[in-house]
Structure 1
Amino acid sequence: MPLAVCATPIGNLEDVTLRVLRELAEADTVLCEDTRHTRILLERHGISARLLSLHQHNEASRVGELLPRLEAGERIALVSDAGLPGVNDPGARLVEAALRIGVPVTVLPGASAVETALVASGLVGARYAFLGYLPRGEKALSAVWSELGSWAHPAVAFESPKRLPGTLRSLAVALPERQAAVCRELTKRFEEVARGSARELAERFAEAPRGEITLVVGAGEGIRRDAELTESLAVVRELVAAGLPRRQAADLVARLTPATRNRL
């Protein structure tokens, strides 16, 4: 049997797929970051399962125990407290080890705090970068903002509520007018999405809020427009190479993209 990596809700317990619920109900063992947390989800959906903890403090030792069981055909499902295991959560080491010895791995997708925040922010683009958890030191944070200053796409990061005020102050110093969004308690009862410039958000969150935080930092407007123009020009060149007259190609691309006819 393959190792089943299952996405769980990021807040609202109803945000779980039927496929994941079926897998959790049929698994011989469910590996979870916190057995108490996972039991709440299972009880909400009427599922009884054998739970075994797999977290950052025991994953290394658990892998050696679990691989023979997977090879023997035991049906094992892997979950984390929220979202998909292996992305800023335990599980990546087990997945890598299973694949290395030839045990198949299947991923059952579901809720994503990153993509939920990105869409809710209104700063979504054709591409984005996920930064994981932001570094703690001011010097390291400044280096992140310096890199983001030249990016033509938004970036998404996780941050603790306690460190959020300092992070926003640092961002406001480096990129005061950069548009951003603080997404708090996504999918939960007190969900909040605060949008504005880095300076405005730093003022709004001068005190630490409660709840889980996902931060979205938008692209620089001028940089984004330049990137869009570059992409549009590339499309024009492709159409011309395919035999379309340049004027007609430019007119077509101008209708379908933010680029103006004169710039093309």
Structure 2
Amino acid sequence: MWITGNSGPFKIHEIEIASSAGKGLRILHISDLHFAPGQTAKADFIAKLAELEPDFVINTGDNLGHKDAINPALLALEPLRQFPGVFVNGSNDYRAPKPRNPLRYFMGPSKNSTPGVRLDTKRFEDELIGSGWLNLNNKAGQLEINSTRIGFLGLNDAHEGLEDFAGLPKQTASLKEVDITIGVAHAPYLEVIDAFLEQRVEIMFAGHTHGGQLCLPGQKALITNCDLPTKYASGLSAWSDDNHQAMLHVSNGIGCSIYAPLRIFCPPSATLITLS
């Protein structure tokens, strides 16, 4: 489904994932809003997502994209905050973006050697928590929806080195009698995927890649801004270790940095996933 705003087209992907539990659950995955004041088309798209009436929302971070973004981003997310939800942070939820050479994008994963303006991350988190969303930054959580007990394992942003892999077993132990376990992180580094597989999650969700952002025709990504191979830069993929298999969904993201506001063959999007 395509939605056209005054700054270009947005896309809603609808896909199904086979699952042994939670049949019929509708999960809305959003990521990488990079919201800035005045982005009305983006806000309209987010409001339109509420019409999908998901059972819950997974937000994989980088919601903020400007030093004055907190209030506008919260207002834009308000239509989705009526639904149960969970979230993790990305680096842009801690610091405002700063100008940089756009060619640096093709020179490997970005670094923050000169940090931008610190944001009031706690206030932003507290507002989401106040809406009933679970903070999964190096934390576990549980929701019961339509008689399905859903367990979540979360990691803070591995792109910033904020992840706590050592704490994941304790997170897993804190989940009680869940029917399905979901892993949630911002950046899909391979060590993040391996850590979730070790904890036997059924589905993993991440963002960060922007689907490649600057792609060849057919959305063939040139870079993922992490060590995830480019063929997995967006959408569904299957992963396994010696003992377990799981699905990974990587979001294209809804926005991008105000200092690199260009997408090529990679439209901004959100995904509605139905467990079947």
Q: Identify, as 1 or 2, the structure richer in strand.
A: 2
TM bucket, shorter chain = 0.3 to 0.5
Q: TM-score, normalised by structure 1?
A: 0.33
Q: Identify, as 1 or 2, the structure richer in helix.
A: 1
Q: TM-score, normalised by structure 2?
A: 0.32
Larger Rg: 1
